[in-house]
Structure formats: C-alpha cells, structure tokens
C-alpha cells in the first residue's frame, strides 16, 4: 500500500477480535513510530505495550481516575460499578500501546514541539497498523492527562500520556469518512 492510499483509507477501528498479535508485528509498529520527525532529535516518545494481564495496569489507572472524578455522595456500590466499567475499557483489544511524551528539559527545546513529534509518531504507527491489515483506534481524553495516569506508568509530572492505541484484528468494516476539501482550509499567500 502506498503512503497516499494509506493516509486516505486509514480509519479508526474501534471493534477488534481478541486474537493475539505477534510480538514481531508490534515491534514493526513501534519502529515506525520512532521514525517520526522530531526537532533537535530529542526522541520524546515513550511506549508501553500492554497485552494479556498487562492490560490491567491501564484498567487499574482508569478505575482509580473514575473513582477520583466521581460525583460526591455516591455510595460504595456505585463507586465500584464506575471503577469496574472503567477497568473493562483496557480489555477491548488484545494489545494496547500507551504512548507518552517525555519532553526534553533543554533551553533549546520548545515543549509544544515535543508533543507534535509524539503525535506524528502515533500517526506513523496508525498508518503502519493499517498497512499491515490490522485495526486500531487512538483513544485519548481527560483520563490520559490525569496525574494518576502518570503515577500508574511511572511518568514524571511534566510528562503526559497522549493516548492509547487499541490494536487488533478488525471485527468491523471500516467506516466511511468525509473531509472538507484542502482548498476550503487553505489560504495561498504569494506576495
């Protein structure tokens, strides 16, 4: 698959089977991530590959965050139900690749560029997953950025989890997608 075709046909696949993914395949995906552009060659990405029981690390963090964010006044049963719902999210795919940014602490490094590099790494990984015939969805949201998530993965306070790539064999058809034309989002400045 050429890169333009991969870009145009890649879709988020939120439903995958529990069929295991070979370690060599996951390593190819990670290798694609590390070739993302990054200013000053800081390589600010950090990957955590969660499979089997290892997914419980994410489930535990999601459960802790759900309880911490729960409305006051919930009884113990309601809190446990919230925690259990959150815990189950980590089991939606046989492999979850957690991707964090660890910004370099140098005066010549702009922190925002570190985030951009890791987002580019995630895109490289998603395109590789698609080219390999697998399915994935990049999930993020408020729990990613919660201090309890950093704590669960041993990240420093200045680091951030930027998302979770839920990876597996597709168990759904790729959804159709539309985009506004590039022309509608482009201003040409020629003078």
**126 in Cβ contact with 159 (< 8 Å):** no
Helix (H, G, I), strand (E, B) or coil at 168: strand
Domains and CATH numbers, the chain: 9-52+90-172 (3.40.109.10)
Q: What is the DSSP letter of 49?
A: E
Q: What is the DSSP letter of 22?
A: -
Rounded to 5°, the CA angle 187-35-55 comes to: 105
**Model confidence pLDDT, tens digit, residues 41-94:** 999 999 999 999 999 999 999 999 999 998 777 888 999 999 999 999 999 999
Angle subtended by helix axes 23-34 and 111-131, to nearest 10 = 140
What is the reported pTM?
A: 0.95
């Amino acid at each position: 698959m050429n890169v333009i075709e991969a870009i145009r046909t890649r879709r988020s696949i939120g439903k995958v089977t529990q069929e295991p993914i070979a370690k060599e395949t996951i390593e190819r995906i990670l290798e694609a991530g590390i070739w993302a552009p990054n200013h000053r060659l800081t390589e600010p990405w950090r990957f955590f590959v969660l499979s089997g029981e290892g997914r419980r690390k994410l489930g535990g963090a999601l459960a802790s965050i759900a309880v911490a964010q729960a409305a006051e006044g919930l009884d113990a049963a309601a809190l446990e139900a919230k925690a259990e719902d959150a815990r189950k999210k980590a089991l939606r795919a046989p492999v979850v690749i957690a991707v964090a940014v660890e910004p370099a602490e140098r005066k010549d490094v702009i922190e925002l560029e570190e985030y951009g590099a890791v987002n580019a790494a995630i895109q490289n990984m998603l395109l590789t997953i698609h080219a390999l015939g697998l399915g994935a969805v990049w999930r993020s949201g408020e729990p990613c950025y919660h201090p309890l998530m950093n704590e669960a993965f041993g990240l420093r306070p200045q680091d951030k989890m930027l998302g979770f790539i839920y990876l597996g064999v597709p168990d759904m058809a790729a959804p159709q997608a539309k985009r506004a034309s590039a022309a509608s989002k482009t201003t040409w400045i020629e003078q």
